[in-house]
Structure 1
């Protein structure tokens, strides 16, 4: 497994995100109000909006362009909208956030 440290959990604001550039594209890493951490592709399945700039509520993010709501747990659009983004395995160890980059690369 190729876990890559991308920084501290405190680098990500609560109910906010940090964008990480990888060879296969941008990954948005989110921190909820409850300090859960999720990672998904940083583009909305609707029109490609930057999800890392969206509003985090619960375990979902609202795209800043057209208000699509995307589950941070599954990557799927919620409500009547259809589409999905890839989720990236993420974990927190001793306050450090790690993503499984090999999975992100293999998913492409």
Structure 2
């Protein structure tokens, strides 16, 4: 049986500061939400695969976030860690509708 993802309304897009992560707990998932300067919103697993560092507290550069503990660079688009490091976090589809951010979990 394939589980379908639920579209969860999480917050007003204007309440999510640009370039600063926000950690959310949706269902049984810990998710880091990011609002980029270009208006795009990304949602990824909130913990670095290397040190378990809180990615929502990392520095955002372009469409990457740097883990605050070891500076691992994680793609907000794919969840993949930039080489030569190795690892991946889960990514979640986001949508902005009527000024609200939705995450599919």
Deviations 1:4-52, CA, capped at 9 Å, x for gaps: 1000111111111211112323101111111110000000011100000
- Structure 1 residue 79: deviation in Å? 2.8
* 5+ residue gaps, structure 1: 102-108
Tell me which residue corresponds to 1:61.
Answer: 65
Mapping of residues 7-86 of structure 1, within 5 Å? 7-86=11-90
TM-score by length of 1: 0.88
Q: SS of the counterpart of 1:16?
A: coil
Deviations 1:46-68, CA, capped at 9 Å, x for gaps: 11000000011111100100000
In structure 2, distance between residues paired with 1:79 and 1:56: 18
In structure 2, distance between residues paired with 1:11 and 1:45: 28
Q: SS of the counterpart of 2:14?
A: helix
Q: Alignment length, in residue pairs?
A: 101
User: Which protein is richer in helix relative to its size?
Assistant: 1
- Structure 1 residue 94: deviation in Å? 1.8
